[in-house]
Amino acid sequence: MSNLNELSLKAVSHLIQSGTVQPRELVSDCIARIELCEEELKAFTTFDPERVFDQLTEVERQGNKSALFGVPVGIKDIMETAGMRTTMGSKIYRDYVPQRDAVCVSALKTAGALVAGKTETTEFAYYYPGRTRNPHAPDHTPGGSSMGSAAAVSRMMIPLALGTQTAGSVIRPAAYCGVTGYKASHGSFSLAGVCGFAQNLDTLGFFVRKVEDLTTVRHTLSGAPAEILPLSGRIRAALVKTPHWEMADASQQQLIEDVCRHLQGHQIEISEIDVGPSDGALTQAQITIMGYEGCRSLSAEYANFSHLLSDQIKALIEQGQQTTHTAYLEAIKLGNIWQKKMRSVFKDYDVLITPSAPGEAPQGLDSTGDPIFNRVWTLLKVPCIHLPVAFGPNGLPLGVQLIGAFNQDDRLIRAAHQIQEVLAEFEFVPN
């Protein structure tokens, strides 16, 4: 067993591109790993090893040796896949098999990637949990909504999986599963063929092993540079505790502060700043928009299949129906005002450091945890990266969230890459 499944996307693509490794070896290793762990982990809603090999045969036949040649990837089950069931995590779509691929899926395929399977999602990417368990402790949540994608990458099943974020659906599961997660700047990628929830918030994201893997995917999907450019000068970082700091566990708080101290000792400037009003109005604006747009995205399901919806999503829809159009527009406007103000923040800082989640993954599978530390950044349309850093007092992953300037995702990735390197030597001793 060669364990190619354990390599990062960039490392394994490089080995394939140089001819050192045959894609068939990688696919075999990934499938063996999925077959070993899936019964316990339940990362996949749909997984069929034969179809993965069939895709590989087809890609080989086409001679398509693009950047992701032969790489198996996980696709969140709200993204349409031609000929492959796409359930949206909902009983309504239990047997729905689309005929077309979502644009993000077809772009990966065009680059030579193989759909390893459809990864588990909460119902319509909202809160009602899917079956996935936390890869580090099966009775803890993996987070949501992109739960299967985060768990599969964490458990070394696949080197890349796609997710989406409307509140905290990429960064939170990345944190709870201990993998690198990235939510792009809003509008960076087409969401055509992805089940929409809230058009002013929904954004694509990726789960990978290493920060440098992100550039490979961004290059494939959006033509961004394929390599991380060298940084000029010292990184200027700012700790942002947010109005919700007291909702973070002591260990999460300590980790962030210890990380900042460590970075300061390694040529990274650290300040502490506030962003946004102190009363949590931005968090409330995100909640307002999500409910208002979400209830309209799901209006047909609510009207026709209410009996197949969870109580959670019905409550959200009904909350959205109660919200006035004026309150909704006010929420959008507040977001716009602060999106603009963020530009000046990023004149002084390259990156913000803030919690990804309140702490380690909570026990229990009935809830996917709280996106309280993610809502504002999604509202502000800025790129976010979760960097796994250490393990907390319960032996579950902890990490930090890094925030960049809108549409300066490459600058954020450069900073995150350097921070990742500096933190390789970091040791965390919870108090």
- Chain positions 59 to 88 lying near a second copy, rule: CB under 8 A, are none
Residue type, 353: I
State how far the Cα of 353 lies from the Cα of 400, in Å rounded to an integer.
7
DSSP state of 184: P
- Two tokens at 44? 């996949």
State how far the Cα of 422 lies from the Cα of 317, in Å rounded to an integer.
44
Q: Which stretch binds a second copy (CB under 8 A): 135-143, 193-201, 242-250, 262-270?
A: 193-201
Concerning whether 76 is annotated as a catalytic residue, the answer is yes
Please measure the distance between the N-terminal and C-terminal CA atoms of the chain and give it in whole angstroms.
Answer: 40
Q: Which stretch binds a second copy (CB under 8 A): 9-17, 43-51, 96-104, 141-149?
A: 96-104
Nearer to a second copy by Cβ, of 356 and 378: the residue is 378
Q: How far is the CB of 281 from a second copy (least distance, A)?
A: 18
200 forms part of the interface with a second copy (CB under 8 A):
yes
Nearer to a second copy by Cβ, of 204 and 361: the residue is 204
Q: How far is the CB of 383 from a second copy (least distance, A)?
A: 12
Q: How far is the CB of 73 from a second copy (least distance, A)?
A: 15
Nearer to a second copy by Cβ, of 258 and 293: the residue is 293
Residue where the block lists tokens 């990062």? 8
325 forms part of the interface with a second copy (CB under 8 A):
yes
- Chain positions 265 to 294 lying near a second copy, rule: CB under 8 A, are 292-293
Q: In this structure, is the dihedral angle defined by the CA atoms of residues 177, 373, 375 and 128, taken in order, positive or negative?
A: positive
State how far the Cα of 380 lies from the Cα of 321, in Å rounded to an integer.
24
- Chain positions 289 to 308 lying near a second copy, rule: CB under 8 A, are 292-293, 296-297, 299-300, 303-304
Give 27's contacts (C-beta < 8 A, 6+ positions apart): 52, 53, 56, 70, 72, 114
Q: How far is the CB of 218 from a second copy (least distance, A)?
A: 9
E-assigned strand segments in 259-404: 269-273, 351-354, 384-391, 397-403
Give 11's contacts (C-beta < 8 A, 6+ positions apart): none
Q: Is cis: bond before 146, omega within 30 of 0?
A: no
Concerning whether 232 is annotated as a catalytic residue, the answer is no
221 forms part of the interface with a second copy (CB under 8 A):
yes
Residue ranges that bind a second copy, judged by CB under 8 A: 96, 98-101, 103, 106-107, 109-110, 187, 189-196, 199-200, 221-225, 292-293, 296-297, 299-300, 303-304, 324-325, 328-329, 332-333, 340, 407
Which residues are catalytic, by number? 76, 145, 169
